[in-house]
Amino acid sequence: MNGARIALFPGSFDPVTNGHLDVIQRAVRLFDEVIVGVGHNQTKAPIFTVEERLAQLREACARLPSVRVAAFSGLLTEAVRGFGAVAVVRGLRAVSDFEYEFQMALMNRELEPQCETIFLMPRAEYSFLSSTMIREIARLGGDISPFVPEAVARALVERLRVP
């Protein structure tokens, strides 16, 4: 789309949660195109490979035509430039998120003065959700189905099943 206002929503998405999807839906209303960027230069070993996370996100966003799911590596500011995004979108669940997000947003703007970050708040009922907690609950055999897309819940149970 010519002159389209593109936003980049970056994250690890290991796994994608209903909170992430809530933020994506909000971003869709504000931008012509939303690129969900799966960052893959993390040092910690993820539960799902980048390809699996891309597939899970594509399925979860299938009904949102203005959403594109893509992987990125290296600096976020480079990805912003590469995708032609006018803003980075990040979710803010609670005040506890703020310090890290504020630091990241300002550092990214220091690296690339054009790089603006927009914070969107997911619905209050998702404010306690995090991928880290989902992984832990799933590992310990708890029910994560209310918090993630159905296919992701199935894949998590399968992945963490003790043989």
Confirm or reject binding of residue 39 to ligand PNS (CB under 6 A): yes
The active-site residue out of 26, 90, 131, 135 is 131
CB-count burial class (<10 Å; 0-12, 13-18, 19+) for 139: middle
Is 131 annotated as catalytic? yes
Reduce the DSSP state of residue 19 to 3 states and report it.
Answer: helix
Site for ligand PNS in 60-79 (CB under 6 A): 75-76
Q: Which of 53, 90, 93, 135 is catalytic?
A: 93
Beta carbon nearer to ligand PNS, 44 or 161:
44
Q: Is 69 helix (H, G, I), strand (E, B) or coil?
A: strand
> Does residue number 108 form part of the binding site for ligand PNS (CB under 6 A)?
yes
Applying CB under 6 A, among 11, 15, 19, 122 the residue interacting with ligand PNS is 11
Starting at the earlier edge strand, list the strands of the sheet with 116-120.
67-72, 33-39, 6-11, 87-91, 116-120
Nearest to 13 by CA among 137, 111, 152, 158: 152
Q: Is 127 annotated as catalytic? A: no
Residue 146 CB burial class (10 angstroms; 0-12, 13-18, ≥19): exposed
Stretch near ligand PNS under the rule CB under 6 A, chosen from 100-108, 119-127, 143-151, 154-162: 100-108
Phi/psi at 106 (nearest 5 deg)? -70, -40
Residue 145: active-site member = no
Is residue 44 flagged as an active site residue? yes
User: Among 12, 25, 127, 130, which residue sits at the site for ligand PNS (rule: CB under 6 A)?
Assistant: 12
Binding site for ligand PNS (CB under 6 A): 10-12, 39, 75-76, 104, 107-108
